[in-house]
């Protein structure tokens, strides 16, 4: 079984990837698992640029096959914000509860039909040699009137799945993986890994 370094310290994200890649011959490890204390600054202006930057740097630093992603929430009525800055929106130390409050205040007079949004995720797979492949996924939805639900993380409580009349935070892990942007990108990455060249 080959090791695959998932360039994250987020346990939720690692668990999602482990579930989606469970039948592939890869052992998924986190940065903590290999005790790699390296923080790569996301200086790109697109999700693809940030994912690529992280994957290549961590592949060089670890001498391993690496999966890195960048993802975020794009709200159409806010011209795509918070977008690539989703994790740093309103300041890195700002709680998600406060971020929700700011977003909902800015959307206060926006009718439901115009509260369209999407989660976007780009995954980069990289080898120390520089071999690189990208996979992308999106999840379309609406911004809810108020946060709801106890599951998930990040912006999940305010992201409404219209067909289910539930926020991401009200979905089970299985439902979310089947529908989510990260799930879609991971399934495309899974196809890449299934035919990945052996070292």
Is 70 marked active-site?
A: yes
Report the chain's mean pLDDT, rounded to a whole number.
Answer: 94
Reported pTM: 0.91
For 111-156, the pLDDT digits (tens) are 999 999 999 999 999 999 999 999 999 999 999 999 999 998 899 9
On the question of pLDDT at 199 being above 70, the answer is: no
**199 lies in a domain?**
no
**163 lies in a domain?**
yes
Residue 41 annotated as lining a ligand binding site:
yes
1-4 contact pairs (CB < 8 A, 24+): 1/25, 1/26, 1/27, 2/26, 2/27, 2/65, 2/198, 2/199, 3/27, 3/29, 3/64, 3/65, 4/28, 4/29, 4/64, 4/65, 4/66, 4/67, 4/193
Q: Which of 37, 70, 76, 163 is catalytic?
A: 70
**41 lies in a domain?**
yes
Residue 10 annotated as lining a ligand binding site:
yes
**167 lies in a domain?**
yes
Residue 176 annotated as lining a ligand binding site:
yes
Give the structural domain span for 115: 2-194
On the question of pLDDT at 1 being above 90, the answer is: no
Residue 23 annotated as lining a ligand binding site:
no
Strands 166-167, 132-143: pairing is unpaired
């Amino acid at each position: 079984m080959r090791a695959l370094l998932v360039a994250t310290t987020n346990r939720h994200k690692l668990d999602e990837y482990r579930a989606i890649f469970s039948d592939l011959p890869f052992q998924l490890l986190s940065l903590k698992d290999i005790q790699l204390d390296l923080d790569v600054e996301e200086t790109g202006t697109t999700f693809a640029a940030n994912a690529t930057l992280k994957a290549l740097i961590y592949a060089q630093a670890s001498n391993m096959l690496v999966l890195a992603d960048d993802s975020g929430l794009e709200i159409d009525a806010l011209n795509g914000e918070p977008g690539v800055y989703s994790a740093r929106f309103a300041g890195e130390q700002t709680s998600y509860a406060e971020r929700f409050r700011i977003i909902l205040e800015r959307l206060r007079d926006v009718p439901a039909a115009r509260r369209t949004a999407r989660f976007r995720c780009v995954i980069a797979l990289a080898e120390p040699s520089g071999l690189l492949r990208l996979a992308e996924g999106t999840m379309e939805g609406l911004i809810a009137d108020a946060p709801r639900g106890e599951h998930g993380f990040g912006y999940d409580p305010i992201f409404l799945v219209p067909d289910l009349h539930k926020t991401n935070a009200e979905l089970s892990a299985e439902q979310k993986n089947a529908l989510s942007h990260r799930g879609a990108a991971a399934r495309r990455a899974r196809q890449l890994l299934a035919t990945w060249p052996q070292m």
